Amino acid sequence: MLSRRTDLPLDADVLGRFLPWIIAFMVFLAVLATAGMFVLQDAASRWSAGVARTLTVQIPPPTGERILPPAEDPRVLEALKILRTTPGIVRANVLSDDRLASLLEPWLGRASAVSGLPLPRLIDVEIEAGTTVDAQALGQRLAEAIAGASVDDHRIWLDRLLRLLGAVEWVAMAILACIGLATVGTVVYATRTSLAVHRQVIEVLHLIGAQDAYVARQFAWRALSLGLRGGLIGLSLALPALLAVGYVAAHIDSELLPRASLSPLQWGMIAAIPLLASAVAMLTARVTVMKTLAAML
């Protein structure tokens, strides 16, 4: 890979033996951390978009009276009237008995079992995109008109969840930063060792008129080549791991789990990680060599 003529016997030294595997390990971790971060970001934006624009209004079940169908319940009609006249609300629909029963089914069993129970009336409210509705004020107005009516603002629940996701994302980014720092540190260490090993050769190159950049270029190309080799090893190990996690996640039937799939752009960014790692290795090697050589005559 990247065979260039070199005056330094870099092939068999510590740089060549050690660096590809370190870079492979770092790229493996970086790919997993990045993929995890993308899945969380995706989940956060989907939940945010889906839930932020809805409210649920709850009206307690009628007590001691004949149970009317939701659409005929005067309290429901009153609530709908208030909601439909509130600016920013584009839709307010009362949930039918069947829909209620199906929502309760996981807890209370088949729909027939709940048909006779006094259930609260739920109104699904959709808010116009780009506007906000003061859920607290709306709740107060509804409570004044209808005893016991309340507004369930999903935003509060969602905010907490998004905060949690945000924290996990920061942790993923911190892991990526640590991986980057560890890579830089490793390359610096390996390059310095290599410089010490080849000091005699470098001195001869200097004495016959080589610029620092001439020597640094050889180290930089070597680091790039080793970095690419290591990066591809790391990527080829990480991809099966990612696909396995994705496969397992896809077979868990849960609305709560984030969708474990990545967009082409995100796959592209993951594929760029080995390139980034080798570019970091190349730049670090060059800077290390230039700094070390500056101390020589």
Partner 1 sequence: MGFDVNDCVVRFENVGLRYGLGPEVLQDISIALTPASYHFLVGPSGAGKSSLLRLMYLALRPTRGLISLFGRDIAVTPRDELPALRRRIGVVFQEFRLLSHLSAFDNVALPLRVAGTRESDVQRHVEELLAWVGLKDHIHARLPTLSGGQQQRVAIARAVITKPQLLLADEPTGNVDDRMALRLMHLFEELNKLGTTIVIATHNETLVKRLGHPCLRVDGGRLVSDRPEGFLKSRGSAGDGHGAEPTPSPRTLGILS
Residue among 210 and 287 whose Cβ is closer to partner 1: 210
* Least distance from partner 1 to the Cβ atom of residue 210, Å: 4
Binding to partner 1 (CB under 8 A): which residues in 69-108? none
Cα 106 to Cα 245: distance, rounded to the nearest angstrom:
28
Residue among 5 and 251 whose Cβ is closer to partner 1: 5
Contact in structure between 29 and 233 (CB atoms under 8 Å): no
Given strand 121-127, what is the order of strands in its sheet?
A: 89-94, 121-127, 54-59, 150-153
Amino acid at 135: A
* Least distance from partner 1 to the Cβ atom of residue 42, Å: 51
Calculate the dihedral angle through the C-alpha atoms of 278, 280, 286, 291, rounding to the nearest 10 degrees.
Answer: -150
* Least distance from partner 1 to the Cβ atom of residue 171, Å: 45
Amino acid at 180: G
Residue among 281 and 293 whose Cβ is closer to partner 1: 293
Residue among 17 and 259 whose Cβ is closer to partner 1: 17
* Least distance from partner 1 to the Cβ atom of residue 9, Å: 4
Alpha-carbon separation of residue 157 from 128, 161, 162, 166 (angstroms)? 20, 6, 9, 14
Residue among 130 and 209 whose Cβ is closer to partner 1: 209
* Least distance from partner 1 to the Cβ atom of residue 203, Å: 7
Contact in structure between 187 and 284 (CB atoms under 8 Å): yes
- What is the token pair recorded at 53? 């624009």
SS3 54: strand
Number of residues in contact with partner 1 under rule CB under 8 A: 17
Residue among 129 and 295 whose Cβ is closer to partner 1: 295
Contact in structure between 88 and 133 (CB atoms under 8 Å): yes
Residue among 112 and 200 whose Cβ is closer to partner 1: 200
- Tell me the Ramachandran region of residue 130: left when phi exceeds 0, alpha when psi lies from -120 to 50, beta otherwise: left
Residue among 256 and 297 whose Cβ is closer to partner 1: 297
* Least distance from partner 1 to the Cβ atom of residue 287, Å: 16
* Least distance from partner 1 to the Cβ atom of residue 159, Å: 58
Residues whose CB is less than 8 angstroms from the CB of residue 66 and which lie 6 or more positions away in sequence, other chains included = none
- Tell me the Ramachandran region of residue 2: left when phi exceeds 0, alpha when psi lies from -120 to 50, beta otherwise: left
What is the pattern of x (binds partner 1, CB under 8 A) and - over residues 9-28?
A: x-------------------
* Least distance from partner 1 to the Cβ atom of residue 209, Å: 3
What is the pattern of x (binds partner 1, CB under 8 A) and - over residues 190-229?
A: ----------xx-xxxxxxxxxx-x---------------
CA 142 to chain centre: 39
Interaction site with partner 1 (CB under 8 A): 7, 9, 200-201, 203-212, 214, 294, 297
